[in-house]
Structures are given as structure tokens and as C-alpha cells.
Amino acid sequence: MTMRFSFGYGFDLNMLQTFNDIARTGDEVGFDMMGTGCTPALKGEIFVGLSQIAQATKNCRVNSFIINPVTWHPVMMACGFSTIDAMSNGRAVLGM
């Protein structure tokens, strides 16, 4: 049995370098999946955060640990995730 580890963290606009460093380090030590969530008015925009994770990593899956289908139109979610999937070479995972 293989153990898989993942984690998510808030996309803090005041700590962009730290956000990228956490993603890079998690990927380097073997985390299977890393993500951020949709927290309107509290943190940065989810797809910008996911794109940062996609760019900072090479191996782990990139996921939204929560996205609100009430505040995000399904077409906009599909557009955002297809972009993240392309940026991450097929590593995007949608979490609702």
C-alpha cells in the first residue's frame, strides 16, 4: 500500500514568495497533491493561486480543495480548470 500525502493552504497576497516556496518544497519532498481554496474577500483569487502552484511544481497534482459552485458559474469553473490543467500538464483536480 502506498501512502499519499496532500495539503492545501490559503493564497495570501501578502506572502506570494512564501506561497510559491511552500508549493515547490511540497513537490520536492513528494507530496501527491497541493491546492488552495476559494475564499472570496479573504484570500487571493483561486485560479491565480492554482496557477502559482502549477508553475512552482512539476510532479504533484494541483487541486482546489474547495470552490463554491454558487458563486462560480460552471462555464467559468470549466475555463479556469482547463487552463490550470494545461499549465500543469494534466495535473489539475477539481474539488467542490
C-alpha 38/C-alpha 72 separation (Å) is: 10
Q: What is the pLDDT of residues 30-64, one digit of tens each?
A: 999 999 988 877 788 899 999 999 999 999 999 99
Whether 10 shows a pLDDT value over 90: the answer reads: no
Position 77 scores a pLDDT of 92
Work out the pLDDT band at 79, boundaries 50, 70, 90: very high
Host H or E run for residue 34: strand 33-37
Position 46 scores a pLDDT of 92
Angle 92-20-66 (CA atoms, 0-180°, nearest 5)? 40
Q: Exposed/middle/buried for 68, CB within 10 Å: 0-12, 13-18, 19+?
A: middle
Host H or E run for residue 81: helix 74-87
Q: What percent of the chain has pLDDT over 70?
A: 98
In this predicted model, which residue has the larger pLDDT, 90 or 67?
90
